[in-house]
Amino acid sequence: MNMLKRRQFLKTTVLATAGLVAARSARAAEARVEIPIYDPIGTISPDLYGHFAEHIGGVIYDGIWVGENSKVPNLGGIRTALVEHMRRIKAPVVRWPGGCFADSYNWRDGIGPRAQRPRRPNFWIVDSWMQGAPDGPQKFEPNEFGTNEFCRFCQLIGAQPYLATNLRGNTARDFDDWVDYCNAPAGKTTLADQRAAAGDRDPFRVRFWGIGNESWGCGGNFTPEEYAMEFRRFTAWVPGFGVPLAFIGSGPNGGDLDWTRRFFARLTERDRGLLGTLYGWALHYYCGTSGKGDAVDFTVDDWYDLLEKATVMDSLIRLHWGAMGEIDRAHRVKLVVDEWGAWHHAGTEINRAFLFGQMSTMRDALIAGLTLDIFNRHADKVAMANVAQLINNLHSLFLAHEDRFVATPNFHVFEMYAAHQGGQSLRTEFSVGNIGAHGGKPASLPALAGSASLHDRRLVLTVVNTSATDAVETEVAVRGAAVKSATGRVLAASDIHAHNTFAEPQAVVTQDVAVKLSGTGLVHRFPAASITRLDLELA
């Protein structure tokens, strides 16, 4: 179908709002993106490119942890291939041990000699999928991978640990003790000495602490008022041992503004200063598949439907930011989107015990690109984000089983987008139509979306073309500087269902693309169903 027929070119007014209309001229390109370099939104925190690893399915056992005596190449029990790939994407932070698992976890189970650690039923054993799975560490938690192992994993990949405490089952005292175990200098406390005896003399200096997880659901079924009181109790006067502790509150499920409003109201009812105890407010949003819900077998309508659902993240950030601002007028509390991704139905797992172990295709890669671009564009509001989950699970960057390991298309997006980390987020004003109506729904998915960041005289632009069929010739205009030279890299596949497997690990990989300069800017053709990064050297 012809692109012009299928798309509704809306003659968007975004350029007018930026006062840039005068710059438009008659042109052959089908779309245009304007990037003013003089009005940055804020610094893109590297933490927007964070990860999440829960004791669920194949994430920890057979994913990250293979054990020191494994024939699988490992670094102290941690899968070497994973470490190498995590370094390539400059992974900044990893959240652990859950998820719902966190609120059933006693951190003391995971310390001391491994052979003596207790075995417990895993939180997810009650899931109907797991009841049909064979027995193993996914059902009966062996606690081989505990605090020391996790913090060593973080050290190996150069990431900060982000630990989620058990608010449902443990006490505030247990939480204090966990901070003590992680952060106190050896020789100062009994718990620090236990850590040192396990081989980690230097404190882990954990800064990020989640106070429960999904406390509106699996984390205790609290009301926002009850949770606010627990939050106050858990976070009052916790010694950080020289580490400025950053507490992250268990925020809303998707668009639940009531949870946000009522929590902020109760937290501050006696003392507005308590906002200072809250570093971040955790938002969870998964986009779910329509149609059959299969991760790999989907229609073009399913493709557009899910990409459109992914873009809901933008309005969720705006809405919760607005609700937080009703009380936190100065916006000292930032959003932490510590679970995001696509959630498909079961059926594509590489192993029966890997709960939620879905395959990731080009569709998931585009969702990753769209979402990371949204975070970049809200660099002033979002302090951290963690894709769920790292390996063998929802929206994973990797699949692994025994000695086999493969990077999914999502990994390649993270590798391309790592270039944004630490840059100044710039406005990207796209002038392009929406994708036409699909599945009986009106059009609201933009044909192109993206984000840009400035790093001295280098500008990084990432662009997602959501069309399943059509390339889009686009004029890229940088306002405030001329483009001296440019290079490009693209992730694209002729089949929207394309994905990497153990047998075909290179089915979807990035490649270099030539970029054509035009006047002081450039014109680029973004292929159908693709994610592109352009690196522009500015004069």
Residues of this chain that interact with ligand AHR (CB under 6 A) are 54, 98-100, 213-214, 339, 388-389, 394
Minimum CB separation of residue 100 from ligand AHR in Å reads 4
User: Smaller CB distance to ligand AHR: residue 98 or 450?
Assistant: 98
CB 34 within 8 Å of CB 20: yes
Largest CA distance in the chain: 74
Minimum CB separation of residue 341 from ligand AHR in Å reads 8
Nearest CA to 309 out of 278, 286, 333 is that of 286
Catalytic-role residue among 149, 339, 415, 475: 339
Minimum CB separation of residue 381 from ligand AHR in Å reads 22
State the Cα–Cα distance between residues 160 and 152, nearest whole angstrom: 10
Minimum CB separation of residue 356 from ligand AHR in Å reads 6
Tell me which residue has its CB nearest to ligand AHR.
99
User: Smaller CB distance to ligand AHR: residue 284 or 377?
Assistant: 284
Other residues' Cβ atoms within 10 Å of the Cβ of residue 457: 12
Minimum CB separation of residue 339 from ligand AHR in Å reads 6
User: Smaller CB distance to ligand AHR: residue 210 or 450?
Assistant: 210
User: Smaller CB distance to ligand AHR: residue 284 or 363?
Assistant: 284
Nearest CA to 91 out of 363, 391, 317 is that of 391
Verify whether residue 214 is a known catalytic residue: yes
State the Rg of the chain over Cα.
Answer: 23
User: Smaller CB distance to ligand AHR: residue 65 or 101?
Assistant: 101
Catalytic-role residue among 54, 144, 149, 214: 214
Minimum CB separation of residue 102 from ligand AHR in Å reads 8
Phi, psi of 381 (to 5 degrees): -115, -35
Verify whether residue 339 is a known catalytic residue: yes
Pairing verdict, β 31-36 and 472-479: parallel
In 180-203, which positions are buried (b, 16+ CB within 10 angstroms) versus exposed (e)? bbbbbeeeebebbebbbebebeeb
Phi, psi of 59 (to 5 degrees): -70, -55
State the Cα–Cα distance between residues 220 and 229, nearest whole angstrom: 13
DSSP symbols for 74-121: EETTEEHHHHHHHHHTT--EEEES-SGGGGG--GGGGSS-GGGSPPEE
User: Smaller CB distance to ligand AHR: residue 53 or 452?
Assistant: 53
Phi, psi of 229 (to 5 degrees): -70, -40
Phi, psi of 313 (to 5 degrees): -50, -40
Minimum CB separation of residue 305 from ligand AHR in Å reads 21
State the Cα–Cα distance between residues 187 and 226, nearest whole angstrom: 38
Q: How many residues are there in the chain?
A: 539
Active site residues: 214, 339
